[in-house]
Amino acid sequence: MRQYSVQQGDCMESIAAQFGFTWETLWNHPSNQDLRTTRGCPNVLLPGDIVSIPDLTLRIENCCTHKCHNFILNSRQPSKLVIVLKDFDQPRANETYILTVKGGKTVKGTTDANGRLEETIPPGAQSGKLLVGPPEAQEEYILKLGHIDPIDQPTGVEGRLRNLGYRSLAEFQKKYFLPETNKVDDTTLQILRQEYGC
């Protein structure tokens, strides 16, 4: 068993792919119980978190000789990237987009009625670019995948507010009719987690 220290941009899927496991195997391993309890979400880790990496085990398959056999390794399943595009609170429905992920391919698509796009990407992808809208008026967004910190960290709160388009925590609190303290409290965190999705 070895210990891996999480780096910025890591998530359980990228770590698992690096070491030849499925993310569920690592996340649910008994030695990672404390990490599961602390973080609660395999896609949002903090740099410095420790992930226990068990030793790979030898698997033996009985097969007939003089025949061809196919074996499928399922540890490198693609990851799923989900983004919801909004203009203030209105979903940007039926918007054309071009998504390019480093280490993956470029895909074109259209957002659904809720402004949502969903694409498969390599599990170790850490950056990409999203072009939205018609060619004559395209908007460009640089993506840093796996770079959002846990919500219990100040950097996690700031990152979520920035990605959602808020200039301050007080602005977010005002929208949801909360006391505009500009300070983190349990109710604010709960609503922020719901709006952001994690």
Between CA 102 and CA 126 the distance in angstroms is 7
7/175 Cα distance (integer angstroms) = 34
In angstroms, the CA 173 to CA 42 distance is: 27
In a domain, 108, yes or no: yes
**Residue 62 maps to a domain:** no
For residue 198, what are the β-bridge partners? none
Which range of residues forms the domain containing residue 38? Answer: 2-53
Per-residue pLDDT tens for 12-36?
999 998 998 889 999 999 999 999 9
* Contacts with 92 (C-beta within 8 Å, 6 or more apart), sequence order: 85, 86, 111, 115, 132
Whether residues 139 and 160 share a domain: the answer is no
Same domain membership, residue 96 and residue 137: yes
* 45 is a domain residue: yes
One domain for residues 137 and 159: no
- pLDDT digit string, tens, across residues 122-153: 888 889 999 999 999 999 999 999 899 999 99
Strands (E), 127-174: 127-132, 139-144
Q: Does some domain include residue 192? A: yes
Q: How many domains does the chain have?
A: 3
- Distance CA(93)–CA(97), nearest Å, equals 11
Residues 25 and 47 in one domain: yes
